[in-house]
Amino acid sequence: MSKSRPPIAVVVLTRYDRPTELARALASVQSQDTPAQLVLVANGAYEPGFDQPDKLIMLHENVGIPAGRNIGAEVADAPLIMFLDDDAELLHPQILAEIVRRFDAHPSMGAMALRLIDEHGTSQRRHVPRVGGRTAHKSGKVTYFVGAACVVRASAFNSVGRFDARFFYAMEESDLAWRLLDAGWSIWYAADLTVYHPRTTPARHPGYARLTARNRLWMAWRSLPAPLVVAYLGVWTAAAILRGAPVRDVFTGYRDGWRARPQRHPIRWRTVATMSLLGRPPIL
């Protein structure tokens, strides 16, 4: 008899540069009460001595985070797909069962964000998908999600074109979220479903300011109605500089993004209104 299709697949992307954390991430998935298909994508790295996941994808070069996740999602065989960072851990064994139950109960839900907590038991401001980040403990509809621990409905994910592989690093989740919302899907933040993720800073990634700026320009140019493009980029340029991003890198990113900007497919004003009512108009 053939093995039944699992209700959820978990895609873990790794470069094997933190094997201890990866081992804990995989163990947290394998200890879940609900059976899950575990897909491990080695993104330009060699295979270590871990127990074999259900599917192992070996990539000879680092293709970036969004492309690597897309590759993992492509081989996953489940109606729901979780993306989990290789230094994250599911903190209790019922998380996947509860995720499956909630997606079954809400057929219009296209994605779910889980609450990330660090070694101090707190959620970093940038990991809370709301303006200000002071509502980490409040569940509800939101306008985007953080990729370190998130779930997408496979049909929704595929219907809007998956992550944009060109982004390589940064903003791919927000870009996908805008497209999901415009297609009529909702996004839910589940504050009661917690995942451990260490406290980090974007500055740890080489070129983070340039890539983030480039990808913001791509996202705004493709998806925002014309009057909002300049407003969005103006707000985030000021925010980046105030947060200490190198000014030269920010404007280099804009230059690179403008030279290779995508075709425009602006979201509807109805989507702009929906995002605004949820507390985050697409200029914030």
**53 with 101, same domain?**
yes
For 235, the token pair is: 């707000």
The C-alpha angle with vertex 281 and arms to 280 and 284, in degrees rounded to 5, equals 75
- Whether residue 131 sits in one domain with residue 16: yes
The tally of domains found in the chain comes to 2
Report the candidate in 109, 108, 106, 127 with the shortest Cα–Cα distance to residue 118.
Answer: 127
- Whether residues 132 and 271 share a domain: the answer is no
Residues of the chain falling short of pLDDT 50 = 1-2
Distance, CA of 276 to CA of 229 (rounded, Å) = 16
pLDDT of residue 207: 87
pLDDT of the residue at 201 = 78
pLDDT at 26: 95
Q: What is the mean pLDDT of the chain?
A: 94
pLDDT at residue 3, as a whole number: 65
In 48-76, which positions are buried (b, 16+ CB within 10 angstroms) versus exposed (e)? eeeeebbbebebeeebbbbbbbbbbbeeb
| Residue 162: closest CA among 111, 221, 224, 225 | 111
Question: Residues 182-224: pLDDT tens digits?
Answer: 999 999 999 999 999 999 877 667 789 999 999 999 999 999 9
How far apart are alpha carbons 179 and 157 in whole angstroms? 9
Q: What local confidence, expressed as pLDDT, does residue 203 receive? A: 66
Does 284 map to a domain? no
Q: Parallel, antiparallel, or unpaired: how do β-strands 149-153 and 109-117 relate?
A: antiparallel
- Residue 2 domain flag: no
Q: Decide if 70 contacts 163 (C-beta within 8 A).
A: yes
**Is 132 exposed, middle or buried (CB count within 10 Å of its CB: 0-12, 13-18, 19+)?**
exposed
- Give yes or no: residues 118 and 246 share one domain: no
Residues 6 or more apart whose Cβ sits within 8 Å of residue 15: 42, 43, 44, 45, 62, 86
**pLDDT, tens digit (0-9, with 9 covering 90-100), for 114-126:** 999 999 999 999 8
Q: Give a yes or no: residue 282 inside a domain.
A: no
Domain containing residue 123: CATH number:
3.90.550.10
Q: Which domain holds residue 252?
A: 203-277
Torsion-angle region of 48 (φ positive above 0: left; ψ -120 to 50: alpha; else: beta): beta
136 and 182 in one domain?
Answer: yes
Same domain for 195 and 131: yes
Q: Identify whether 1 is part of a domain.
A: no
What amino acid occupies position 218? W
Cα–Cα distance for residue pair 228/232, rounded to 1 Å: 6
Same-domain status, 210 and 191: no
Domain closes at, from 200, 225, 259: 200
CA–CA gap between residue 284 and residue 52 (Å, rounded): 42
- Hey, what's the torsion of the CAs at 163, 237, 224, 146, to 10 degrees? 30
